[in-house]
Structure 1
């Protein structure tokens, strides 16, 4: 299978390790991973803040980047961006795009998957040979839970990681308060929400909190670091990429305490 990797703008700029880990996991299953270099932002930020017409060029770019018929699937390490492609692109294209864009956007949306969806629904695996001997808790991000409805797919993958001590997060379905520009426009409300989330994470006594969205992990990880909690935020792809033979070693310091201050 030929799989295109959609890095997302936040992944490309701030969380390259999560993107690379996604490629590693998919390639280990024997699939060819390709990276269309013309890809850019999915346009979610524009649509969510009311600039739908301005998002049309980004939708056109997404279609151009991933419409190649030799590409069987598009996989992103981001439930948020995957949700935007599947939930927003066709609607915005119908309203503001040129003739035919909506149909083209539907075709690319139909083959775009979150990592957990691809692994379980398309590749048909939930055992990846991963090894991560740490206490971990999982945060269900809003877009993954409500837009994509990934259900227990991420948990099925994590439960099959050798050595992991996976502990349930109280109120796991509650928002962390990031919400993109929501955290900027409603900073005090956002801070209160992430404070609740972090308190629940610390109550689990986990070493790591994981999720399928780097943006939520950035918000949660920043709060954990400011509290000097010792708990680190780590994308699920990085846990799944870690094996006994090749323990995952992030190249960037994005998850370090210094980076979160």
Structure 2
């Protein structure tokens, strides 16, 4: 099975090891993985900030980079996946790109969704001895409709005890530029999320989105708290 990687900006620049771990897992299950080095941003930051013309320009390049074959497109981000799936159609409505949008949308999957729904994999053979809780990122949950798949995968990780927190579906407060424009509100939301995670007794907080984890981890570090954050791809690649 041929898979094209879609690596979001912040993964490429700040957390490249997560991208490599995603490749490690995909290749274990006989995926032929390719990476287009010409790819850049999907345009979500510009779109969310109201710069639709700029977002459209970036989106056109994204479509050129990913619409020239029938490969699956897999990303370690529900946020970016959700943006392309839900807003490209609006951004390119009645345009020459509308067929490319439909094609990319049909082939684009978030990583855990692809493993469970397409490859029919729930056990990657991972081992991680820790007690963990899971954060439902807004993009993954609300825009992609993904909730069960990450949990199915985590429940098969040997040595991992998964416990649910009360605020698992509550936004962490990142929201891209929201965290910059509304810092006090964003920090308060991070406080609620981390407090809920700590109350479970978990040592680790896991999610599908590094944007969320970056925000949450910054709050944890500034408060001097003892909790680790991990992207699910890093978890699923552990111990083998």
Per-residue displacement from partner, 1:109-162 (whole Å, max 9, x unpaired)? Answer: 211100111001111111111111111110001111111001211000100111
CA apart distance, 1:68: 2.6
Report the Cα distance in structure 1 between the residues aligned to 2:49 and 2:5, rounded to whole angstroms. Answer: 26
Gaps of 5+ in 2: none
Q: Which residue of 1 is the match for residue 13 of structure 2?
A: 13
Number of equivalent positions: 240
Q: Secondary structure at the match of 1:129?
A: coil
Q: Which residue of 2 is the match for residue 215 of structure 1?
A: 211
CA apart distance, 1:207: 1.5
Q: Which residue of 1 is the match for residue 65 of structure 2?
A: 65
Gaps of 5+ in 1: 247-261
Deviation beyond 3 Å, 4+ runs, structure 1: none
TM-score (norm 2): 0.97
Contact 1:91–1:102 under 8 Å retained in 2:
no
Report the Cα distance in structure 2 between the residues aligned to 1:77 and 1:157, rounded to whole angstroms. Answer: 14
Report the Cα distance in structure 1 between the residues aligned to 2:2 and 2:57, rounded to whole angstroms. Answer: 26
Answering whether residue 109 of structure 2 is matched by residue 110 of structure 1, we say no
Q: Which residue of 2 is the match for residue 88 of structure 1?
A: 87
Contact 1:93–1:102 under 8 Å retained in 2:
yes
Residues 157-196 of structure 1 aligned to structure 2 (within 5 Å)? 157-196=153-192
Per-residue displacement from partner, 1:50-96 (whole Å, max 9, x unpaired)? Answer: 11111112111111111132x4200000000000110111210126x
Q: Secondary structure at the match of 2:230?
A: strand
Report the Cα distance in structure 1 between the residues aligned to 2:164 and 2:147, rounded to whole angstroms. Answer: 15
